[in-house]
Structure 1
Amino acid sequence: MQPAFTVDDATLLETDLTTCHLLVLVGRGALSYVVFDPAAGGKFLALKSYNFQPQKLAVADLEMIEQVFDADKLLFTAFRSVLLAFDTANSTLVPEKHYSPQLKKEYMHMAYPEKLQEVVLADILPPPLSVVNIYSADKDLLGFLRKEFSTDRVVHAHSALLQAYPYDFDFRNSEGIAYVAVQRNRFTLTIYSGGKLVNQQEQPYQTGLDVVYHLVNTLRLLSLDEQKVKVKLGGALTSDSLVYQELYKFIPRLEWVQRLPEFQYISKMQEIPGYYFHNLYALALCV
């Protein structure tokens, strides 16, 4: 299996990887990772992204991920630590003051039906967020990745995004701001008003108009004006994509989300639009 994206340079060979973190993002029909070196001023040294046809059964996705492991020997390097992030699961946010670890399954199943072979996990996000992200993952997939990487460090992709967005210069936009992180056939919408989180949800889509509909409808339900709210778009998209074109028709303040400014990136990464892997880079905030 060949990666869809490979980005690295000679510095990777010159670096002691035992001082680096491997940040792995598992999505529907995708596995991506970056090598992150905190000793080099917080620098990303390498990135790979694999795509395959999403499967209805998690066991089929697991078979594809096993093929990635067979093909990519860098994954077996002795890194300082490995962080696993899931973007494959249902998730729900609960205010930390109302959260009880013993009730995380109950919180989860109030929002989503129980699945076979699921394990329910929770990320307690640091202040000032004061929320807990509760999510489920496939038990076999989680077990395989934990065993292969010898790690118990697990987060949800949305937890990383929630920690990344406040670094954006427009985060406290007076008219509100909406971040749209687009993946294959789905997107995550995160909305802030006055710097406070008011909504995060994941929605499926088939056309660009689906994204517009969900975005505009959610903004109006929150009493925000889509003509004034700033919308920042991230994902493996281009200005020619149908999602961008439809949003451009209806959203006057549409921009691309940018790379996190507090980190460093090798020159080849800077040649790729920063919004392509914003959710992957954000995992460095969870190390």
Structure 2
Amino acid sequence: MAYNIHPSYAVDDATLLETDLTTCHLLVLIGKGTFSYAVFDPAIQKFLALKSYSYQPQKMAVADLEMIEQVFDVDKLLLTAFKSVLLAFDTPECSLIPETHYVPRLKKDYLHAVHQEKLQEAVLADTMPALSIVNVFAVDKDLLGFLRKEFSTDRIIHAHTALLQSYPMDLDYQSGDGVAFVEVQRNRFTLTVYTSGNLLIQQQHEYQEGLDIVYHLVNTLRQLGVDEQKIKVKLSGALATDSQVYQEVFKFIPRLEWTQRLSGFKYITQMQEIPGYYFHNLYALALCV
């Protein structure tokens, strides 16, 4: 079956042709209806290319696998030899466990206490010693097997792990009034809340319109005892100021800002022309290589 696979963003320049890609990392992000990647040169801490494909997400994982197989058919850069390939999965089936309470043989039990077990799932775990947290998550076993084989890699993480590495770099991370990061994807968003540098919660919710995000955001903040009038909320994702999502959130949240492009890295000119908050979750993968 043929699917309408197309890159929604494709960014690179002449420097890519002059670069020895065997010294670069390929950072791959697999989400619901999206397949994105960036080429990152660790020697100069610079992003050299970015491409993002979008397609209509399917309920059946086999359909997602077929779509990604077609991405490989049309994008030959994916077949290039890189120094390493990091695969990051943005799946809703994930759970954060304090490292002091984590027992590796019980990782499935931790996950299934919160999320229903699925057929053909592989349960993995990311350990984050600096944060004393373990992120347990599930991915489709067939999709994972295909990507591992195509890329010859065993470097697998969850997208939320990269986000948790990136947020402490934000200037408001230590704010006593708190900061809430809202990473918006198609029909889903990830909410991460801190006060004074302490992680309070990270959750993923589904949404249909901006008011759904407002509801989940305000409800969560109130349950945490955080004042939604004082906390700073930072949005990231492929949004614009005239989007319905942004307008609805702006209406109810007084301290609303865009998440800034990650500092400490270099970006080719074409990337700097794209708002930095568009691919925050993809850029954050560079912190995990």
Residue 233 of structure 2 is aligned to residue 264 of structure 1: no
Q: Are 2:6 and 2:55, in contact at CA under 8 Å, matched by a contact in 1? A: no
Residue 27 of structure 2 is aligned to residue 23 of structure 1: yes
Tell me which residue corresponds to 1:39: 43
Tell me which residue corresponds to 1:66: 69
Q: Shift in Å at residue 2 of structure 1?
A: 2.7
1:124 maps to a residue whose letter is: T
Residue aligned with 1:4, SS? strand
When the two structures are superposed, what TM-score results if normalisation uses the length of structure 2? Answer: 0.98
Residue 77 of structure 2 is aligned to residue 77 of structure 1: no
Q: Shift in Å at residue 256 of structure 1?
A: 0.2
Q: Distance in 1 between matches of 2:159 and 2:153?
A: 17
Tell me which residue corresponds to 2:280: 278
Tell me which residue corresponds to 2:13: 9
Matching of residues 1-287 of structure 1 within 5 Å:
1-40=5-44, 42-127=45-130, 129-287=131-289
5+ residue gaps, structure 2 = none
Q: Which runs of 4+ in 1 moved over 6 A?
A: none
Residue aligned with 2:278, SS? helix
* Equivalences, count: 285
Q: Distance in 1 between matches of 2:258 and 2:25?
A: 27
2:176 maps to a residue whose letter is: S
1:117 maps to a residue whose letter is: Q
* Greater CA drift, 170-179 or 228-237: 170-179
Q: Shift in Å at residue 88 of structure 1?
A: 2.6
Q: Please, what is the CA RMSD of the aligned residues?
A: 0.6
Residue aligned with 1:283, SS? helix
Residue aligned with 1:181, SS? strand
Deviations 1:224-256 (Å, cap 9, x if unpaired)?
A: 000000000000000011110011011010000
5+ residue gaps, structure 1 = none
Q: Distance in 2 between matches of 1:197 and 1:251?
A: 20
Q: Distance in 1 between matches of 2:174 and 2:256?
A: 16
When the two structures are superposed, what TM-score results if normalisation uses the length of structure 1? Answer: 0.98
* Greater CA drift, 153-162 or 118-127: 118-127
Q: Shift in Å at residue 89 of structure 1?
A: 4.1
Q: Distance in 1 between matches of 2:137 and 2:26?
A: 22
